[in-house]
Every structure is written in structure tokens, then in C-alpha cells.
Amino acid sequence: MTASTNRAARSQVDRSRLEQIFNAHHAAVWRALRRRGLTPEAAEDATQETFLLAAERLEDIRPESERAFLLGTALRVAHTLGRKTVRWSLDEDMDQRSSEVRDTSERHADGELCDLVLSQIDPDLVETFVLYEIDGLTSPEIAGLLAIPLGSVASRLRRAREQFRSAAARLERNLKKEGEP
């Protein structure tokens, strides 16, 4: 086998792997970017950038760490773009907001409601909550990604979860008052 054939075969393998990780994780990457406050268009560009960076480092990415690598890269890309997580000021107007989001389609509305609840969590804690509860990362992965000790991951998650549950319960009560399912 010639060197060029080897290179071609290798490239094909790389492309297959890139395709596989793209299909497995691009939605999670996009979600992470949107949560960082990027517009859909910016999130699309940043998702592309994330996978381009991943493509450059495919050899270094262990299969079991693909998701953590991609989310970490996505967060760095978002950081590079200089965006901060968008947070709504909902303490006073949650009732109004919940009515508004219920006007859209059911599934979309649930997503909006989730954002509403997540926005009630302390900014320092919400990332840990999302990475664990939604993105499914492990404690060491989160610790590595956020550069915090394992103990901090656990304590942040505990506090974030309390806040999530409290905000969710409050929203549910509000929705019931409005007569929503």
C-alpha cells in the first residue's frame, strides 16, 4: 500500500468518525451554545466551528469523551464569541411569561418553560445542572470542563437542583392557576 493510499484510507476513517460524532452530538452542542445566549444563526456557526476544531483533533479525542470534548469546545467557542448566558428577569413576571410561551405549540412551549425554569437558577450553578441532568456528563467530565474540583461539582449540582425544583414547582402552580395542563 502506498503512502498516499494510506493517507486516503485514514482520511476516510476520520470522515466516518466525524460523521458519527456529528450525528451523535451536534444537537447537544447546539443546545449548549444556545444556552450560552447565542442566536440560532450564531449557534449554527459555532456548532460548525466546534466540529471543525474536533476534526482537527480527532486522534486526541477518546471515544468515551467525545461528548465532553465537544461541549467543552463549544463552551470555549461561545466564550470566544464573548457572549454571556442569556438570563431572563422573571422573578416578577413569570406568570405573564408562562402565558406567553403557552401560546406556541405544546412541545416548543415546554422547551420555553424549561428555559424559564433554568433561568431561575443561579448563573454559577446552572451550567453544572445542565451538563449533568440534560447533557448527561459525568462528575469528572464536568469537573474537567469547568475546571472545578469534584466536590464543587457535587455541591453546585445539589444547590442547582434545589433551585430548579423550586422554580419548577412554582411554575407548575402558576400554570395550574391559569388552567393549563
Partner 1 sequence: MSRRPTELPERLLAGDATDFERRLIDAALEKRPSAAASARIARALGVTVTGIGTAAAAKALAATRVTAEGSIPVVASTSGVWTWVSVGVLGLGVAGAVVSARGRHTSRLEPRAVLAVPPAASTPETELGPRTWRAVPATTERPPASVSSSRRPTRRPTDGDLRDQIALIDSARDALTVGSPHRSLEILHRYQEHYPSGSFRPEATATMIEALVKLGRATDARALAIRFVAEHPDSLLAARVAELVGLPTPGSVP
The one among 71, 74, 94, 113 contacting partner 1 by CB under 8 A: 113
Told to check if 23 binds partner 1 by CB under 8 A, we report: yes
The answer to whether the beta carbons of residues 36 and 83 sit under 8 Å apart is yes
The one among 51, 69, 75, 126 contacting partner 1 by CB under 8 A: 51
- Smaller CB separation from partner 1, 65 or 83: 83
The answer to whether the beta carbons of residues 121 and 167 sit under 8 Å apart is yes
| CA–CA gap between residue 83 and residue 134 (Å, rounded) | 21
Convert 144-173 to b/e letters by CB count within 10 Å (16 or more is b).
bbbebeeeebeebbebbbebbeebbeebee
Told to check if 101 binds partner 1 by CB under 8 A, we report: no
CB of 55 to partner 1, least distance (A): 5
The answer to whether the beta carbons of residues 46 and 74 sit under 8 Å apart is yes
In whole angstroms, what separates CA 123 from the centre of its chain? 14
Half-sphere exposure of 120 (CA within 13 A, CB side): 22
**Interface segment toward partner 1; rule CB under 8 A; list 60-68, 87-95, 109-117, 119-127:** 109-117
Told to check if 148 binds partner 1 by CB under 8 A, we report: no
- Smaller CB separation from partner 1, 65 or 111: 111
As given in the structure block, the three cell numbers for residue 158 are: 445539589
CB of 89 to partner 1, least distance (A): 20
- Residues in contact with partner 1 by CB under 8 A are 7-8, 11-12, 14-15, 18-19, 22-23, 26-27, 30-31, 34, 40-49, 51-53, 55-56, 58, 77, 80-81, 107, 110-111, 113-115, 117-118, 130, 132-134, 136, 139, 149-151, 153-155, 157-158, 161, 164-165, 168-169, 171-172
